[in-house]
Amino acid sequence: MKRWSLILFTVITQISVGSFWTAQFFLPFEDYLLFNRSLYASFVLMLIGLSFSLSHLNSPIRAYFAVSNLRNSWLSREIIFALLYTTFLGITILNLWLNFIPRKIIFVLIWTCSLLGFLLLYSMIRVYMQRTINTWNTFYTPISFFSAALILGALLFNLIVQGAALPGWLIIILLILIILRSSLLPRSLAILAQSIPLKDILIHLQPQFILNLILSAISLVLVGFLALNPYPATIFRAIALCLLSLDAFVDRYMFYNLQKISQPYLV
């Protein structure tokens, strides 16, 4: 259960940030109504993600201690950036209702949210890229995390913003990310295979690996379809988001298992 809390926290947070980035770059800010939906979606996703993050702790009452080691700990920094990002999203939403921030500063507010979202993802990546965990300390980690944010964020934006179409160049980037992520995973497995017999790796990972490959292939088809049909039906957008989210969850589940089986001799 604790592991799933982290999987949900990381994926949901990434969707929130990716969706905000997509909205920021592809919508004129004057288009309040449409931008509202993206803001609300990002904010609600962060609240849900933070709830899952709290549930992973064994002493959630003392969670406030978790920002005590900003000097050294990327986990402390991740939490601070998550809180700041959520807070700034909340301020932006409040401003939409109360209009208390001058128009010229709203631009700064939006960019601050974007920057905090990036710092949140970067901190999240650094939490896992530690020198003692060789299977996480590879390019696969940032590719997996950023691709989840961009792919799922773009699809969520595509779903909730009616009439929006993802530009062709973005579709190409998403396709490249899916291919890159799928091809980097075997490299992590190869690192494992240097110290653990391949049959032991396959016993642990084979079902998830096959499922991940199938879902990645489906992801390629769905995203490729968006390139040919920029305005698909809402049901298609919803199904695409669900399937690719499932792909992201399976990918993240395998990611956590990479650490678990990288130390079979140290249980």
Partner 1 sequence: MSQANRYAFYFDSSFCSGCKACQVACKDKNNLEVGRLWRKVYEVTGGEWHQHGQIWIPDIFSYNVSLACNHCERPICLEVCPTGAIHKREDGIVLIKDTRCIGCGYCKWVCPYNAPQFDPGTGKMTKCNSCYDYIDIGKLPVCVAACPMRALEFGEYDKLAEKHTYIQGVYPLPENSLTNPSVLIKPHQDAGRACKQPARITNIEEL
Instruction: Report the first-to-last Cα separation within the chain, whole angstroms.
Output: 19
* Residue 241 within binding range of partner 1, rule CB under 8 A: no
Cβ density class 75-104: b for 16+ within 10 Å, e for less: bbbbbbbbebbbebbeebeebeeeeeeeee
2 is an interface residue for partner 1 by CB under 8 A: yes
Residue 136 CB, nearest distance to partner 1 (Å)?
9
Shortest Cβ distance from residue 63 to partner 1 (Å)?
6
Q: How far is the CB of 204 from partner 1 (least distance, A)?
A: 14
- Closer of 141 and 216 to partner 1 (Cβ): 141
- Rounded to a whole number, what is the largest CA-CA distance in the chain? 62
d(CA 153, CA 191): 30
CB 169 within 8 A of CB 39: no
# residues near partner 1 by CB under 8 A: 30
194 binds partner 1 (CB under 8 A): no
Least distance to partner 1, CB of residue 57, Å: 5
Sites for partner 1 among residues 98-137 (CB under 8 A): 127, 130-133
Judged by DSSP in three states, 210 sits in helix
| DSSP secondary structure letters along 17-46 | HHHHHHHHHHS-TT-HHHHHHHHHHHHHHH
- Selected binder of partner 1 within 28, 33, 58, 100 (CB under 8 A): 58
Which among 41-49, 55-63, 91-99, 245-253 is the span making contact with partner 1, rule CB under 8 A?
55-63
> What secondary structure letter does DSSP report for 62?
G
Span from 9-17, 21-29, 67-75, 99-107 in contact with partner 1 (CB under 8 A): 67-75
Burial class (CB within 10 angstroms; exposed 0-12, middle 13-18, buried 19+) of 193? middle
Least distance from partner 1 to the Cβ atom of residue 76, Å: 4
Selected from 68, 98, 100, 163, the binder of partner 1 by CB under 8 A is 68
- Write down the residue that tokens 């913003």 correspond to: 161
Residues at the interface with partner 1 (CB under 8 A): 2, 56-60, 62-63, 65-69, 72-76, 79, 127, 130-133, 259, 263-267
